[in-house]
Amino acid sequence: MLFFFTRDSHRHYRFFSTEPTREVQVEFSKLKKIWAAAKEKLLLLPPRILRQEQAFQQILNLGDEGVTILHGGADGTRRIRIRFFFFLQKQRSKHFLLLLVETLLLPLSGLMALVPGPNVFFGVLALILVTHWQAFRGINRLRKKHIFFRASPLLQEWEKMPGTSGREDQAAILSQIEQKHRITEVAKILLW
């Protein structure tokens, strides 16, 4: 499994992996309708956010070996290492605050049970809480792992491409990235 740390079309760094977007696996027998509706709502998140959350979650499934992260290489490995460190710090803080807010909102969402029908609000909030918790744990584990940064010529070409270049040029380089690394939906992650 490969991980990527590269800039999108607005020059913000994105972290994602070769694994495609998948449903969050949570099984509860009594609440199947709520969880099914909540899973559908969660998959409506923009792919750039959902893929990043799931990439952090995938770190939990890795053993003790190091993690290889491909990058554009324009800044050099040392600067990318520093940028990635601050990126992880920012993501860790963001996830901690989100977990705090979601934990405070969860009991309030239980009041929605008074409304007839399934309490989808509670289900969506609980599922997002689980997703952020797993991503937070993945971020913490990634901070402790040995990370190998490897420059990718295709990502370097993408990062050097000006944001004003034509959609055809951008689509061509993104298609090459998808083919070479066997990854899907790169355009949904890096173009917006």
Q: Output the 3-class SS for 22-89.
A: CCCCCCCCCCHHHHHHHHHHHCCCCHHHHHHHHHHHHHHHCCCCCEEEEECCCCCHHHHHHHHHHHHH
pLDDT at 110 > cutoff 90: no
> Given pLDDT bands bounded at 50, 70 and 90, which one contains residue 135?
very high
Q: Would residue 64 be called left, alpha or beta, if left means φ above 0 and alpha means ψ between -120 and 50 degrees? A: alpha
Tell me which range, 3-7, 21-25, 47-51, 90-94, is most confidently predicted by mean pLDDT. 90-94
pTM of the prediction?
0.78
What is the DSSP-derived secondary structure letter of residue 113? G
- C-alpha of 14 from chain center: 8
Give dist(CA 174, CA 9) in Å, integer: 11
Task: List pLDDT tens digits, range 21-36.
Answer: 665 555 555 556 655 6
pLDDT at 43 > cutoff 80: no
What is the DSSP-derived secondary structure letter of residue 11? S
